[in-house]
Amino acid sequence: MQFLGMLSGNLLNGIILGAVYGLMTMGLSLIFGVLKVVNVGHGAFIMVGAYVAYWMFTLFGLAPILSVPIGLILGMALGFLFFYLVMKRLLDAPELSTLLATFAIGIFLEEIAKVIWGPDFRGYSWNVGSLHLPIATIPMAKIYALMSSIAIAIGLYLWFKKTRAGTALRCLVEDKEGARVCGINVTGFYALSFALGLGFTVLSGVLLTLFIPVGISPYMGGIYTLKAFVIAVLGGLASPWGAFFGGFIFGLVENGSYSLLGLIPNVEPFSLTQFVAFMVLLVILLLKPEGLLGEK
Amino acid sequence: MILRKYSSFIITLAIFAVLLLIGLLRPTMWQPVALIMFYIAMGQAFNIFLGMTGYVNFGYVAFLAIGSYGMALGISRFYHTGIGLWLIPLGFTLAALMAGLLSVLVGGIALRLRGAYFAIATIGVNEGLKYLIEGAKFWGGSEGIIISKPMRVTFGRHLANSLSTFWADIFLFAIAVLAAYLTFRFMHSRVGYALTAVREDEDAAKVMGVNATKYKLIAFIVSSCVAGLIGATTWCLKSTYVFPEDVFEVSYTVEAIVIVMLGGSGTLLGPIIGGLIYGICKYWLAVLLPGLQLLILAPLIIVIIVAFPGGIVGVIREKTRGTAFDQVIV
């Protein structure tokens, strides 16, 4: 009974964390969907967002929720910078080039962060009370993160479906040459998608700090790259909406498996959940590579 | 004609021989030479897969790591059976086997899919395996395996010492020669031709009846087994311990990418030239700018990809196209 209570509490946490996970992966899927580029340095941009939240909070006392727009703007600035400096020259190159380039960009950001903030773990705590439920006590900070994730995802969805720019972007995903013929500035929209994708990634890093009890470090991104890939593949890789729902599934799997692995004596359940993420990835790639939510 | 075909392999052996001679004649140079050979061998093993297929194995370091565990397990679990020096070949066999098994598992699943999915699958290998070992607490968990005591007990202090300070590096030379030979054989065989076809146009190759997945998997397994051997000698026999935090270190994957792309991927001499230059530069950088190597390497990767995707060997071939030299350095 006690176990069931813990399990349901963990699953609830999983859903809340899953919303942020989903948001964290939307940028990856957006970039892959439009540019057909896999951003292997994804985790490094999450790390940048985490440090934005950390710095804004410790230097100016700004609540992490209010750092969200700063993360978005910084991420988009980095996105435009890296697009025009690097990615634009590689659009027609073999896949190998973009994979290596995004990997190198990620490593570069990590090393810059190490120079600025040092290699140690840092953390802050934003205490705004808790919500007491029968099965679990949830800090309000996480509730805010959940609500802003959903609001931001809906915002992106509406922008995609309702605005002229969003329509042009969807057109570009369907048919690059067709879009060009219709007078859509293909390179410009590539730049915009790359920037938006990274903007959302950095922004999600801001929210993610509310869930990391051990604190943040320059090399924290690696495991989030892995998780984002698992989620993206769950959702069909090229679909930001699939990714958002994939995030919920992954949050549930991760937190549920944490409870179950805790039953095994003499193991470290937290480390094993990271391994579970990798196994989930292999199993999906084996059984349903187009994604659980993808259509084929 | 025969000489021309083997020219690049002969140049490779000559470079190795010169390095070995420098190390043997000048004892103070032995460690730098061993470091350079480590980078050359690591680049060669990486190149067998990346150069042949155009696919990146982002979990590359995990295969060296699992090889080092193979050697550590071979020595620490079997030293009391009294098989003496046979422990070393046993360790290498385990290393190659374990790395091979991991590659079959990962490659068998991910290589059926196109490039992007393979990259995604491999990026998790390193973290996944490290957390499995630390979380499930087997193979020593996060404390790792220390083999200095079993080695002293089995081989005696003197031999154990020379195994880790001298023979481990000699094994590394042997593995580098093996890797060069495998690369050379691949380039002039059915496997190599098939992979070239797949790399240039996968759909066309498939229509022609090339089993793309099979050949990619062969290259992946061979690359991983050689990586396992390198890990076994350099990260276990030489250092006499294996710690998960040390061996699952992603910067080695970065270094392998730099070496191969700098020298020129898909060529025999590329990773050797890349490894030589990188090894020497790293030695300087470590002295001049300690701790900043990756900060310099990452932009270097980008510059190479954007400006010289063929690497040094590619640039030289471009400049000497049509001359006899072009034929020599293939």
Q: Is A110 on the interface with B (CB under 8 A)?
A: yes
One DSSP character per residue, B262-307 reads HH-TTSSSHHHHHHHHHHHHHHHHHHHSTT-HHHHHHHHHHHHHHH
Q: Residue B106: list chain A partners with CB under 8 A.
A: 282
B50, B58, B135 member nearest A103 (Cβ): B58
Q: Residue A99: list chain B partners with CB under 8 A.
A: 56, 58, 115-116, 119
**Check whether domain B2-328 has CATH 1.10.3470, yes or no:** yes
| Residues 29 through 68 of chain B touching chain A, CB cutoff 8 Å | 50, 54-56, 58
Instruction: State the pLDDT at residue B327.
Output: 66
Q: Is the pLDDT of residue A70 over 90?
A: yes
**Are the Cβ atoms of A95 and B54 closer than 8 angstroms?**
yes
Q: Tell me which residue range forms the domain holding A189.
A: 2-287
Q: Residue A279: list chain B partners with CB under 8 A.
A: 128
Query: B54-64, pLDDT tens digit by residue?
Result: 888 989 999 99
**Are the Cβ atoms of A269 and B120 closer than 8 angstroms?**
no
Confidence category of residue B328, pLDDT binned at 50, 70, 90: low
**Are the Cβ atoms of B254 and A103 closer than 8 angstroms?**
yes
Range of A155-164, A232-241, B4-13, B215-224 with top mean pLDDT: B215-224
Question: Can you tell me the mean pLDDT for B108-116?
Answer: 83
Confidence category of residue A80, pLDDT binned at 50, 70, 90: very high
**All residues at 6 or more sequence positions from A275 whose CB lies less than 8 Å from its CB, including other chains:** B128, B129, B131, B132, B135, B136
Range of A69-78, A175-184, B147-156 with top mean pLDDT: A69-78
Output the CA angle B155-B158-B164, nearest 5 degrees: 75
Q: Is A94 on the interface with B (CB under 8 A)?
A: yes
Q: Is the pLDDT of residue A278 over 80?
A: yes
A77, part of any domain: yes
In chain A, the percentage of residues whose pLDDT exceeds 90 is 38
Any idea what the CATH number is for the domain that residue A62 is in?
1.10.3470
Confidence category of residue A1, pLDDT binned at 50, 70, 90: low
Instruction: State the pLDDT at residue B151.
Output: 87
A237, A269, A278 member nearest B124 (Cβ): A278
The structure's pTM equals 0.89
Output the CA angle B267-B269-B270, nearest 5 degrees: 65
Q: Is A66 on the interface with B (CB under 8 A)?
A: no
* ipTM, interface predicted TM-score of the complex: 0.83
Instruction: State the pLDDT at residue B69.
Output: 95
Phi-psi label, residue A204: left if phi above 0, alpha if psi -120 to 50, beta otherwise? alpha
Instruction: State the pLDDT at residue B41.
Output: 95
Counted domains in chain A: 1
Ranges A112-116, B59-63, B321-325: which has the least confidence: B321-325
Instruction: State the pLDDT at residue A28.
Output: 93
More confident residue, A294 or B214: B214
Nearest chain B Cα distance for residue A203, angstroms: 22
Question: Can you tell me the mean pLDDT for B243-249?
Answer: 90
Q: Is A32 on the interface with B (CB under 8 A)?
A: yes
Instruction: State the pLDDT at residue A296.
Output: 46
Strand partners, A216: A122
**All residues at 6 or more sequence positions from A239 whose CB lies less than 8 Å from its CB, including other chains:** A29, A33, A291, A293, A294
A294, part of any domain: no
Instruction: State the pLDDT at residue B1.
Output: 57
Nearest chain B Cα distance for residue A146, angstroms: 27
Question: Can you tell me the mean pLDDT for A99-110?
Answer: 91
Q: Is A277 on the interface with B (CB under 8 A)?
A: yes
The residue ranges of every structural domain in chain B are 2-328
